[in-house]
Structure 1
Amino acid sequence: MDKAMLHVYDLRDQGIRMLEEERRRIARDLHDGPVQALTNISMKLEVLKHMLDSNPQIAKDQVDQLHRRVTEAVKEIRALIYDLRPLAVDEVGLIEATKALCSQFEKNWGISTSFVVQDGVTSAEITPAKQVALYRLIQEILNNIKKHARATTTVVEFLRDESDLIITVKDDGVGFDTNYVPPGHYGLIGMKERAEFLGGRLEIHSIIGQGSTFIIRIPMYTG
């Protein structure tokens, strides 16, 4: 489903490409998750029709399994809807919105998620539009952890270093080679570009078998 990245010639092009990459990510999540699951369920239901008379007990066991699969697919769809819902980041601020995101992430996927804020750190010195963009970036990092890391714990931390806001997302998952980008998979590149578009940067550190750390550094200012 992935295609080559759009070419960028100026900041307007970069903004358009980031929007397009987000749409592709959502399409991938739908296709690889609930759509695939529901397609498999449909195929198994077709087989079950012919088993009801000949093997009723096996058919019953299969129905129970399919019920669990449907429940899981519904949960994934609801999570996608939650991700896409209109945000109130500009009302409650980036920090409170991220705290709620972490709680929802833990509830949905069973990954223990800690949320830490250094004393004195607020989101007031980040412009509202940048707060929304940062929220979406954190959201994408957590989605990446959910899909690939096989983590049991995650920590999201807000710190301040002089005039910079530093957001760290760390997991205890399987880790990966940060130098290798599979063909057609530009998620990590896109996340770095989005941080740069906001005037900051995203650093990614990972050791195979020892988890990963994502560090977003953004200048704090109101202008």
Structure 2
Amino acid sequence: MFSSDLPTFDPIDYGIRLIEEERRRIARDLHDGPAQDLTNISMRLDVVQRLLQTDTEMAMNELSRTNSRIVAAINDIRRLIYDLRPVAIDEIGLVSATVELCRRCERDWQIQFEVTADPGAAKGLLPARQIALYRLIQEVLQNVKKHAQAQLVTVTISRVSSRLEIEIKDNGKGFNPSEVPDGHFGIVGMRERAAYLGGVLEIESTPGQGSTIRILVPIEQETETL
């Protein structure tokens, strides 16, 4: 079902491209998040310094707001560090790691998550492949946060015969998949990741009606390494 439409991958070339893609993502997240926040904080502190000479009460109010921005920037940096840590997939498995990821996203992003997961859905999938799938799920959720403007995300992990199915659905603004420029939303990269695992990534979305992304990966009793 999956193999006929899969591109041919050079593992070394793909691995190098994946590393460079991760570096670009980290640089982009640092630039768009903490770097911009710290620049804004520096500007606000200049305002506070001037206000202290003319309006102490307004200065204190501005200082309180600035402190909130500092806390938010610290949390963003902590999240980036957490995301870079190795995932103990071999200890807790893909399903448990994904459930924990969704809980953390719900807490940090103030977006409601509903998760339905079969604990044994990833049984038989090598830890290395589970880690790759976990990173793919992370990327999908990051795109939801950045672009969807959603209030609810539904994540379903199930196993159908010898296939692992991961569905991530949001009630955000949606988009027209056929009109998305190359590289936007990371769609090309996400599809490549799924294909590298022998699977496919499907997208259903309509402007104003949210989006659904499905990751479908075959599972066999594996002994090889990636």
Q: Would the TM-score normalized by the shorter structure come out above 0.5?
A: yes
Match of 2:5 in 1: none
Check if 1:144 corresponds to 2:143: yes
Q: Does 1:25 align with 2:30?
A: no
Contact 1:159 1:167 in 2 (8 A): yes
Aligned to 2:129, the other structure's residue is in SS state helix
Say yes or no: does 1:124 pair with 2:123. Answer: yes
Q: Is the Cα contact below 8 Å between 1:127 and 1:221 reproduced in 2?
A: no
Q: Is the 8 A contact 1:166 1:218 kept in 2?
A: yes
Corresponding residue for 2:97?
Answer: 97
Residue aligned with 2:178, SS: coil
What is the SS of the residue equivalent to 1:176? Answer: coil
Tell me, yes or no, if the aligned pair for 1:121 and 1:158 is still in contact at 8 Å.
no
Q: Which residue of 2 aligns with 1:212?
A: 211
SS of aligned partner of 2:174? coil
Distance 2:182 2:188 in 1: 12
Which residue matches 1:202?
A: 201
The CA deviation at 1:153 is: 0.9
In structure 2, how many angstroms separate the alpha carbons of the residues matched to 1:138 and 1:38? 29
Deviation per residue, 1:31-68 (Å, 9 max, x gap):
10111011111022123212211122221221111111
Determine the C-alpha separation between the residues in 2 that align with 1:179 and 1:65: 42
Partner of 1:50: 50
C-alpha change, 1:70 and 1:19, in structure 2 (3 Å) is: same
Structure 1: 5+ residue stretches without partners: 1-7
Equivalent-residue separation in structure 2 for 1:16 and 1:160 (angstroms): 31
Number of residue pairs aligned between Structure 1 and Structure 2: 215
Note the C-alpha offset of 1:12.
2.1
**Matched residue, 1:41:** 41
* Cα distance, 1:145–1:216 mapped onto 2, change above 3 Å: same
Residue type matched to 2:78 in 1? R
**Given residue 33 of structure 1, which amino acid in structure 2 is its aligned partner?**
G
Q: How far is the alpha carbon of 1:121 from its aligned partner?
A: 3.9
Determine the C-alpha separation between the residues in 1 that align with 2:40 and 2:149: 23
Residue 207 of structure 2 aligns to a residue whose secondary structure is coil
% identical equivalent positions: 49
Q: Tell me if the contact between 2:199 and 2:215 (Cα under 8 Å) persists in the aligned partners.
A: yes
- Who is 1:180 aligned against? 179
